[in-house]
Amino acid sequence: MSTDVVLTIAGSDSSGGAGIQADLKTFAAHGCYGASVITALTAQNTLGVQGVHACPPDFVRQQLDSVLDDLQVRAIKTGMLCDAATAKTVVDNLTRRTSSGSLPPIICDPVCVSTSGHTLLKEDAVETLITGLFPISALITPNKSEAELLASRMGSGCETKIDDLESMLEVAKILIKSGCKAVLLKGGHLSTTLHDVQSISAKFPDARVIKQGILGENMEILLAGCAAPIQAETKVVFDLLYQSTGQTTLLVRPRIESSSTHGTGCTLSSAVACELAKGAKSLEDAVASAAMYTHLGILAATAIGQGYGPLNHLHSIQPSLIYPRSLTNPYPFTTLLIQSASETWRQYVEHDFVKQLGRGTLDRANFIHFIKQDYLYLKYYARAYGLLAAKSTSFNTIRSATDTIYNVLHEIGQHKTYCSTFGISEAELEDTPEASATTAYGAYLMDTGDSTKLVMALMACLLGYGEVGLWLKKQSSMKDTWVVLEGNPYKHWVEEYAGEMYQGAVRIGLETMESLAVSESPSEAKLEEWKKVWKRCTMLEKSFWDMAMDLKD
C-alpha cells in the first residue's frame, strides 16, 4: 500500500455507491491510503435519499484534528458538508491550517442536491462554500445544476443557465472569481455532440481538446473495425477545466448509455485528489486521468439495485496500462501505439510518396525503385514471420504468423505480375541490389529480440499499408477530392491495399496485437519497450519511402 494519504470530508452512503464509501474505494483503487471525516450519515440507496442525520459540528472538528494532527495528508477531497454550522467548522479548521502552510491541495465537490432531487446542502451553507472553502481550493468540481446555483448566488448579474458549451465556459469564468485556482465543470447532464465540441474549439482556438476513448486522425484501419464509430453527430460527454490562468481544457469521451452512474461526482473528485497526491505533472493531467478512470468505472459496472446503481470503483484494482476494448474503441492497444508515435506515424502514412501516388503524379522512376526494393523487403518480412512462428508458444500465434506468411506469398505473386506491367521481369527483381534503407529495415526485423517485440516491429508495416490503402480510398470518394483513381497508373496498388484480402490480414494483425496486450499485461517498462520498437519501425517505414523519393541505393 502506498504511503500517499488522501482525506475525504463528506457524508456517508448506506448503499455504498457514493459519499465516503465511494471515496475510500477510489483511494484504494489508486493505491492511496484513505482517511475519512464523516459530516453526516445518510439513509439512501439506488432509488434515492431517504434520510440525513448530521454529525455534531464539534465532532466533525474532532475528526479533522485527529486526522490532520497525526497523518501526513497529501490531498483533501470535500463532499457533502450538510449545513452551515458543519461547513463553517470545516472551513475554519482548514483555513487555519492553510495560513500556516501545512495544508495539501483541496478538491471541493460542492455537493448541493442529489441526482434524485434530495437537498444535501442547506441553503445557508452555500455562502460558506463560496466565500470560505472555494478560495482555499485547488479545484472545485460542480455539475451543471450546482454550477448554475453557485453562479446565481455569486450575484453575477447575468444569465447563469447552462444549455451549451459556450454558456458552460461563461459560468466557469464566473465561478473562478470565487478565488479557487480552477473549475472543473462536469457536463454529464448536458446533451452534446462531437460537432458541438468542434464548433466551440474553432471559436476558442486556444482551448485544448483532449479526446479520450475516441479514435482520431490516421486511424482508418481502426475505424473500419469499429461497431459504433464516433461521428460528428454522435453524442459525447465532456468536462470543462478552466484554470485561473485562463487555460481552458475540454475532455471529451463517448457517452455511455448506463444506469450505473450513482456516485460519479464523488468518484471523479476523489480520483483527482489521488492523482495530485501521487504527484501528477499538472492539474490537467490529474483531471484527465481521473475522468478516464470514472468513465471506465461506468463502462465496467454491473447492475446493482433497482435504480441508478454505482459504477465499478475497483475496475483498476489489478492495474492495466491499456484500456479495455469497447464498441467505440475495439483496438485500444493499437490506438495507444499510434498515439505514442503520432507524428512519425502521420509522416509515414501521409508521406509525399503516398500523396503523389494518390494523385497519379508520382514519377515512374520513383515507383519502380520502390517496388523493386519492396520485393526485396518482403523476403525479410516473410522470414521474420517465420521467426515469430518459431519463437511463439501458442498455436493461435503460430497460426496467425502462418496466415500472414500465406498472405505475403499471395502479395509476392501479385507483386511480380504488377511489376511486369512496368516492364520489370522477375530476374530483374532478383538481381536488384538492396538499398541501404531496405537492409537497415530488414536487419532490424531479423535482429529484434523476443516474440512480443517482433510483433510490434512487424505490425508497423502491415497496419501502415492498410491505413494508406483505406485513407486513399476514403479520400477518393470525397467531393472535390485530390485523389484521382481513374486513369491513375497506380490505381491497382491502391485497390490492392484497400482490398478485402489485405484488409483481412490487417484484421488478423489487429486481433493479434490486442490479444497479446491482454495476455502479456505489460508492465510500464515493458510497454515503453514496445512503444520504442513501434516508433522505430514507423521511422524505418518513412525512411523507406524517403529512399524511393530520393532514388537512393
The rounded distance, in Å, linking the Cα atoms of 375 and 46 is 63
Query: Choosing from 82, 112, 266, 461, which is the catalytic residue?
Result: 266
Q: Cβ(81)–Cβ(123) under 8 Å? A: no
3-state helix vs strand vs coil in the chain, percent to 5: 55, 10, 35
Whether 266 is a known active-site residue: answer yes
Catalytic residue, from 34, 263, 464, 509: name it. 263
The question of whether 265 is a catalytic residue gets the answer: yes
Phi and psi torsions of 534, nearest 5°:
-60, -50
Each as own residue / partner, the long-range contacts of residues 19-22 (CB below 8 Å, 24 or more positions apart, any chain) are: 19/79, 19/80, 19/263, 19/266, 20/79, 22/263, 22/266, 22/267, 22/270, 22/310, 22/313
The catalytically annotated residue of 265, 358, 469, 509 is 265
Find out whether 552 and 437 touch, Cβ atoms under 8 Å: yes
- The Cβ of residue 161 has, within 10 Å, a number of other Cβ atoms equal to 11
* Structural contact between residues 255 and 275, judged by C-beta atoms closer than 8 angstroms: no
Amino acid at the residue 160: T
**Is 261 annotated in the active site?**
yes
Task: Please tell me whether residue 331 adopts helix, strand or coil conformation.
Answer: coil
274 is catalytic: no
186 labelled catalytic: yes
* C-alpha cell read off for 474: 476514403
Reduce the DSSP state of residue 252 to 3 states and report it: strand
Q: Which amino acid is at 61?
A: R
Q: Pick the catalytic residue: 77, 144, 181, 186?
A: 186
448 is an active site residue: no
List 46, 115, 141, 264, catalytic entry: 264
Measure the N-to-C terminal CA separation of the chain; round to a whole number of Å. Answer: 57
Name the catalytic one among 261, 267, 334, 404: 261
Burial of 463 (C-beta count, 10 Å sphere; 0-12/13-18/19+):
buried
What are the catalytic residues?
A: 186, 261, 263-266
